[in-house]
C-alpha cells in the first residue's frame, strides 16, 4: 500500500479549556448561574424584609372594595367597586389615550414629514419650526402648558364657549353630544366590518391587477362607496336608529351629553403633538433614503407629484420608516403614564398610585403594571414587525 504526503500540516488540537466554543459555553453557564443567584437573593431578601414588617403578600387584595372615586371611567365605577375593577379602568383609560394618540400622531407626523420636503419655502419652514420647537421641549412641560395654560384658562361653565354641533368648551373640559344607538345598531357594526373586509380584498385585487396589466383601479373612491353604501344599506334594512343626547347648560353644570375631561384632552393632545414631531423626522429620513433615481424614473413615466409619492417613493421608504416608527408608538404608550402629573386616571395613577397606597401591596401592584406595559410593547412590536414583513414582501 502506497501513501502520499500532501505536504499539509494538521494544526494541533486546542486543549479543552482553550477551545473557544467550550470556553464560550462555560462563560454563559457562569453568567446564567450568577444571574439566577442574584434573582434568588433579591426574592429571599424581599421576603425576609416583608416578614420583618409583618406585611403579607399575594393578590387577594384585588377582590377587596376600593373605596375611592375615579374622575373618568369607560366602565361603571363606584366606591363599592373592587381593586381589579380599578385595574381595568386604568388599563382601558391608558389604551384609549394610546390608541387615539397613535392614530392622530401618525397622520400629523406623516403630513409634517412630507411638508418638510416641500419645494414651497413657507410650508417647509413652518414644518421645520414645528419639529425643532416641539421635540426639544420636554413632554411634561407641554402637558402642563396644555392643561394649565390652555384648558384651565378657559371660561367657567356658565360662560362656556359654544362651538358648532352643540359642542361646548369650558374649564371642565369639552362637552359633546352623546350618541345613543338602539339594540338594532349592532347589525350596522357587522355591516361596517364586512365593508372593511371587502375593501381590503378590493385593494389586494387592484394591486395584483396593476402588477399584471399596468392598469390602475380607483381603489380610494370605490372604497368610500363600499364603506358608505354597505353601511347605509344595513342601517336602512335593519331599521336601526341612533339618537343624540345634547348637553344642556344648567345653573352650575351641564346636563346630558358626553364630557371629555380636561385631563384626557390635554394628555391626548400633548402626546399627539409631541410624538408627531418625531414621526415627522422619521418620515423625512425614510423618504430621503430612497434613491433619487426612483423619483426621476417616476417623472419620466409622467406620474404627478402625488402619484410619485403614493406609488413609488413612500412604499419604498416604509422599509426605513417602520422600525423607528415602532419605537415612537412604544414611547407614546409609555409616555401616557405622565398623565398622572395632570390627574388623568390612567394605569399608573389609578393602580400603581392610589391602589398601591391604600393596600400597601407595592410588589404586586408594580409587578402587574410592569407586566401590562411589557405586553403592550410586545404586542405593538409584533404587529409592526408583521407589517414590516408585508412591506418587504411588497417591495420584492
| Domain end residue (candidates: 55, 71, 105) | 55
Whether 360 maps to a domain, the answer reads: yes
Parallel, antiparallel or unpaired: strands 248-249 and 254-255: antiparallel
Q: Are residues 122 and 48 in the same domain?
A: no
Same domain for 91 and 133, yes or no, is: yes
Paired with 389 in beta bridges are none
Q: Which domain holds residue 370?
A: 83-138+262-395
pLDDT of res. 16: 62
pLDDT at 13: 59
Is 300 part of any domain? yes
For residues 51 and 91, state if they share a domain. Answer: no
33 and 120 share one domain:
no
Whether residue 90 sits in one domain with residue 48: no
Same domain, 368 and 319: yes
Grid coordinates belonging to 181: 344607538
For each successive 10 residues of the chain (396 residues), what is the average pLDDT? 52 63 84 90 78 75 90 88 93 94 94 89 93 93 93 87 87 88 88 90 84 78 87 86 86 84 94 95 89 73 72 81 90 92 92 89 88 91 83 52
Q: What is the maximum alpha-carbon separation in the chain?
A: 115
pLDDT at 61: 87
- Cα 263 to Cα 284: distance, rounded to the nearest angstrom: 32
CATH of the domain at 369: 1.10.3720.10
133 and 38 housed in the same domain: no
Helix axes 314-335, 83-116, angle to 10 degrees: 140
Same-domain status, 133 and 45: no
What is the C-alpha to C-alpha distance for residues 180 and 192, in angstroms, rounded to an integer?
18
31 and 129 in a common domain: no
* Total number of domains constituting the chain: 2
Convert 224-260 to b/e letters by CB count within 10 Å (16 or more is b): eebbeebbeebbeebebeeeeebbebeeeebeebebb
Residue with cell 404627478: 304
In a domain, 373, yes or no: yes
Residue 351 lies in a domain: yes
d(CA 84, CA 64): 8
Are 50 and 93 in the same domain?
A: no
Q: Does residue 232 lie within any of the structural domains?
A: no
* Domain membership flag for residue 361: yes
Beta bridge partners of 180: 243
Same structural domain for residues 24 and 104? no
Q: Is residue 37 part of a domain?
A: yes
Q: For residues 46 and 42, what is the distance between their CA atoms, to the nearest angstrom?
A: 6
| Residue 209, domain member (yes or no) | no
CA angle 108, 109, 110 (to 5 degrees): 95
Amino acid at each position: 500500500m502506497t501513501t502520499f504526503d500532501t505536504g499539509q500540516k494538521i494544526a494541533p488540537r486546542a486543549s479543552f479549556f482553550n477551545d473557544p466554543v467550550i470556553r464560550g459555553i462555560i462563560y454563559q453557564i457562569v453568567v446564567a448561574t450568577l444571574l439566577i443567584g442574584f434573582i434568588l437573593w433579591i426574592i429571599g431578601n424581599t421576603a425576609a424584609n416583608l416578614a420583618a414588617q409583618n406585611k403579607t403578600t399575594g393578590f387577594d387584595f384585588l377582590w377587596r372594595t376600593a373605596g375611592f372615586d375615579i374622575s373618568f371611567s369607560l366602565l361603571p365605577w363606584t366606591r363599592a367597586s373592587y381593586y381589579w375593577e380599578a385595574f381595568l379602568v386604568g388599563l382601558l383609560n391608558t389604551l384609549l389615550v394610546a390608541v387615539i394618540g397613535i392614530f392622530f400622531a401618525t397622520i400629523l407626523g406623516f403630513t409634517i414629514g412630507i411638508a418638510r420636503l416641500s419645494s414651497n419655502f413657507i410650508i417647509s419652514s413652518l414644518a421645520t419650526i414645528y419639529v425643532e420647537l416641539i421635540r426639544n421641549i420636554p413632554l411634561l412641560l407641554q402637558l402642563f402648558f396644555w392643561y394649565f395654560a390652555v384648558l384651565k384658562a378657559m371660561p367657567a361653565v356658565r360662560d362656556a364657549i359654544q362651538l358648532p354641533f352643540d359642542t361646548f368648551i369650558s374649564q371642565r373640559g369639552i362637552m359633546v353630544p352623546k350618541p345613543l344607538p338602539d339594540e338594532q345598531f349592532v347589525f350596522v357594526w357587522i355591516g361596517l366590518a364586512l365593508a372593511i373586509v371587502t375593501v381590503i380584498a378590493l385593494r389586494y385585487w387592484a394591486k395584483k391587477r396593476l402588477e399584471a396589466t399596468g392598469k390602475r383601479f380607483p381603489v380610494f373612491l370605490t372604497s368610500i362607496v363600499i364603506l358608505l353604501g354597505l353601511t347605509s344599506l344595513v342601517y336602512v334594512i335593519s331599521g336601526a336608529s341612533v339618537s343624540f343626547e345634547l348637553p344642556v347648560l344648567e345653573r352650575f353644570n351641564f346636563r346630558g351629553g358626553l364630557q371629555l375631561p380636561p385631563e384626557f384632552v390635554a394628555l391626548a393632545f400633548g402626546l399627539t403633538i409631541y410624538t408627531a414631531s418625531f414621526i415627522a423626522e422619521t418620515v423625512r429620513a425614510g423618504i430621503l433614503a430612497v434613491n433619487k433615481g426612483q423619483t426621476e424614473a417616476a417623472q419620466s413615466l409622467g406620474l404627478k407629484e402625488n402619484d410619485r409619492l403614493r406609488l413609488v417613493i413612500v412604499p419604498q421608504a416604509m422599509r426605513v420608516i417602520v422600525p423607528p416608527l415602532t419605537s415612537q408608538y412604544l414611547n407614546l404608550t409609555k409616555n401616557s403614564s405622565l398623565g398622572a402629573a395632570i390627574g388623568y386616571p390612567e394605569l399608573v395613577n389609578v393602580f400603581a398610585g392610589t391602589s398601591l397606597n391604600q393596600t400597601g401591596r407595592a410588589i404586586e401592584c408594580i409587578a402587574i403594571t410592569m407586566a401590562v406595559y411589557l405586553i403592550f410593547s410586545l404586542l405593538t412590536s409584533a404587529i409592526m414587525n408583521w407589517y414590516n414583513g408585508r412591506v418587504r414582501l411588497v417591495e420584492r
